[in-house]
Chains A and B, each alone.
Chain A
Amino acid sequence: MNALYARPRSVASLLMAAPLTWLVVVYLGSLALLLVSAFWTYSAATDTIDTTPSLVNFGEIIASSTFRTIALRTMGMAALVTLTTAIIAFPIAYYMARVASHRVRGLLVVAILLPLWASYVVKVYAWRIILSEQGILNWSLEPLGVSGPGYGDVALWLVFTYLWLPYMILPIYAGLERIPTGLLEASSDLGARGRQTFRRIILPLAFPAVVAGSIFTFSLTLGDYIAPSLITSTQFLGNVIFSQLGAAGDLPLAAALGTIPVVLMIIYLLAARRLGAFEAL
């Protein structure tokens, strides 16, 4: 004990050993395995995996118009969901951070966090019931002479927007809350109108928070397969990865497909950095 006491560094490394092992072995290790296995090949005829590195899987993905369409559709959905959640989340976050009283703010935070405590699958199934032909949405729209979207991509867009909204609200809220009131007062003292202050002071300062939120909504949409499989019959990246693993047993092709979201996210993060989103760090 005393020996350790004299060596604070040893203590630190001992304490860090377990979480670091977890991070390296479980987190990065599995990611590395994913990348490596993407270069293997699977033979359906013999049901075996050949571990000689090759680019066959990537060639197959690029050559296949189906995979291309699915990748683009997934990306489009992720972008659309990100945009929608940002548009909905910003006013809510702004109200919470700048307008609401302490009490209301607390209630709103709880209201936003509360759905996160419910099981994800329960929420998706709830949406299935809402959106179904005889569901509450069609029932309430009936007097207006219109009907809901039914199951499909539009419905999925609604569900994703609902599911990921808290992940957008919370970072924006945190970002807005930390803008010093002094800056806004100074802006006003110097003659800026409300709109001008918003555009030139608040928005630039809150932008990194929006990007932070968008990283969540974008990546969560890219990777999800349960909501698409329950809400729509069209396929998204997660679904084809699942069917390559589940039905075809083609682990290498699934791994190669799995690298698409990883690559997309890297491009996304680089673009975000170019936009100056990380300069505040």
Chain B
Amino acid sequence: MDRRSRTRRAWALLPAIALLATACAGGGATQAPTRVPTTDAPASGPASEGPASQEPASEAPASEAPASEEPASEGPASDEPASVAPSSDGSLPSGMPAEVGEGEGEVRILAWPGYVEDGSTDPEVDWVTEFEGATGCEVSFDVFGTSDEAFNLFKDGDYDVISASGDASGRLYEGGYVAPVNVDLVPNYADVVDALKDQPYNTFGGVHYGIPHGRGANLLMWRTDVVDPAPDSWTAVFDPESPYAGQVTAYDAAIYIADAAVVLMTTQPELGITDPYALDEAQFAAAVDLARQQRPLISEYWSDYTREMASFANQDSVIGTTWQIIVNLLQAEDPPVPVEAIKPVEGSTGWSDTWMVRADAAHPNCAYMWLDYVVSPQTQASIAEWFGEAPANIAACDLTADPEHCDIFHADDDAYWEDVYYWTTPSVECLDGRGPICKGFDEWLNAWTEIKG
């Protein structure tokens, strides 16, 4: 009897420990909280008293957004529902506002890190406060590390605006999550370089779904004190005999398979890859093989740019994919981390981002104000220099602190972008028009899970 009751008391400890365990695990699972700027300065802009005057069009329920009412076809975006195309009598497609009313006092933004800065990263880097002052729209924002994360956050969240790369914008449109954008309400759209207008990742069925933000290439970065000689080709991170095995890094997303495809375009031209996002059975298998062969060389994959920075600072990684902003931040550290980056000879994957508006946005007027503000010359200059990319608005080039910035980043140099393949969502219907023989994005995701092992 004695033993029984004693053991029972021992077991009674368990629930307490279990509680502790769940508490600890719960704390760990907490993801990055919403960052709400602490600036509580009173809005100097037009205060939104009374109901904002909204056009009926902008109040159209989300269900009228295109593509949401019918299963998205696997075909190309050409077979649009006729209702979204601008009709001949000049009326606007449903969901597209005819004018921007008074601000709602708030706007919620989902963006790549570095696109929305309110001085919390670096007190000098702040273009949100000015916007809040000018429009009275209080900005709250979240950042994401991959397009996949962005897509799912936007799908389930209550954001008004998103900076979507091409591998998210197509999915957002297909799912009916974004509204057509009336570019006439965004005066600064006029100054956007032509090469970025009416592209397959921001215009669907002849209707604009967003405002181009800017573009950049994924670069090859290396530590100059370790890697010698300096690489000029992506093969440096795919070579099984690489002297830097175990210290290579790569981007942790299915879209990285396209980076392997870009290499194959040069090393195995017989595969006939013309678009790294349009891969048929054989091409896809070759790209996946190359990525799998790279697996043992990897120290760790990255999607959180702060972790990639730590990795390079600690020499856990010495060579691999990067963004220009990471190079800039590492070189700005004290003492500077000795890194350099280039666009290798094969060309590169890259991004061309689009600001999109949610189909049932709670703050559509503030959203349009943000769209116009974010592509205004001064903001574009600030973002382009901070993030290290080419601005979409060519007028920004006169305002950058470094007058050479637009030349360095080839803002208006179409030749440079010829071998930069902007992230695009792969689909069964080949993006290069070969018919329905390509691998869809779900197969890319599965392959990526399998590559990581």
Instruction: Flag if A246 contacts B28 (CB, 8 Å).
Output: no
The answer to whether the Cβ of B122 comes within 8 Å of any Cβ in the partner chain is no
The reply to whether A171 and B17 contact each other, CB–CB distance below 8 Å, is yes
- Total count of chain A residues near the partner, CB < 8 A: 52
Within 8 A of B (CB), among A175-233: 175, 178-180, 205, 208-209, 212, 216, 220, 223-224, 226, 232-233
Known: A45-B74, A134-B315, A235-B449. A116 touches B24 (CB 8 A): yes
| Interface status of B27 (Cβ within 8 A of chain A) | yes
* Distance from B335 Cβ to chain A, minimum over Cβ atoms (Å): 13
Contact between chains at B4 and A280 (CB < 8 Å): yes
Whether B10 lies near A209 (C-beta < 8 A) is: yes
CB atoms of A246 and B148 under 8 A apart: yes
Interface string of A39-78 (1 = CB under 8 A from B): 0000011111000000000000000101001100000000
* B interface residue count range (under 10 / 10 to 19 / 20 to 34 / 35 or more): 35 or more
- For window 430-453 of chain B, which residues contact chain A by CB distance below 8 Å? 440-442, 445, 449-450, 452-453
Let me know if A171 and B146 touch, CB within 8 A. Answer: no
B25: chain A residues at CB < 8 Å are 120, 220, 223-224
B447 to A, closest residue via Cβ: A66
- Could you say which of B41-49, B149-157, B365-373 contacts chain A? B149-157
Contact B10 A174 (CB under 8 A): yes
Smallest Cβ distance from A209 to chain B, in angstroms? 6
Known: A44-B441, A47-B174, A235-B453. A121 touches B148 (CB 8 A): no
Closest to A206 in B: B10
Cα distance, A235 to B440, chains bound together (Å): 23
Q: Mark A257-281, 1 if CB is under 8 A from B, else 0.
A: 0000000000000000000000011
Bound: A129/B25 CA distance, A? 21
Cβ contact within 8 Å between B72 and A45: yes
Q: Which residues of A contact B18 (CB under 8 A)?
A: 216
Q: Does A151 contact B (CB under 8 A)?
A: yes
Give complex CA distance A174, B428 in Å: 60
CB distance from B257 to the nearest CB of A (A): 13
- Cβ contacts under 8 Å, A205 to chain B: 3
Interface centre among B21, B315, B428 (most CB of A within 10 A): B21
**Quick check: is A248 within 8 A (CB to CB) of the other chain?**
yes
A133 touches B300 (CB 8 A): no
Given known pairs A44-B440, A46-B71, the reply for A132 and B13 (CB within 8 Å) is: no
When the two chains form their complex, are residues B20 and A116 in contact, meaning their CB atoms are under 8 A apart?
yes
Closest to A248 in B: B445
In Å, the complex CA distance between A171 and B4 comes to 16
B13 touches A170 (CB 8 A): yes
A90-134 interface mask toward B, CB cutoff 8 Å, 1 = contact, 0 = none?
000000000000000000000000001001110010001100111
Q: How far is the CA of A233 from the CA of B299 in the complex (A)?
A: 7
- Between A and B, 30 residue pairs with Cβ closer than 8 Å are A45-B71, A45-B72, A47-B174, A66-B450, A70-B453, A120-B25, A120-B27, A120-B28, A132-B315, A133-B316, A150-B246, A150-B316, A151-B299, A167-B17, A167-B20, A170-B17, A174-B9, A175-B7, A178-B10, A205-B3, A220-B21, A234-B453, A240-B449, A247-B253, A247-B254, A247-B445, A248-B445, A249-B152, A249-B155, A280-B4
Residues of A within 8 A of B (CB): 44-48, 64, 66, 69-70, 116, 119-121, 124, 128-129, 132-135, 150-151, 167, 170-171, 174-175, 178-180, 205, 208-209, 212, 216, 220, 223-224, 226, 232-235, 240, 243, 245-249, 280-281
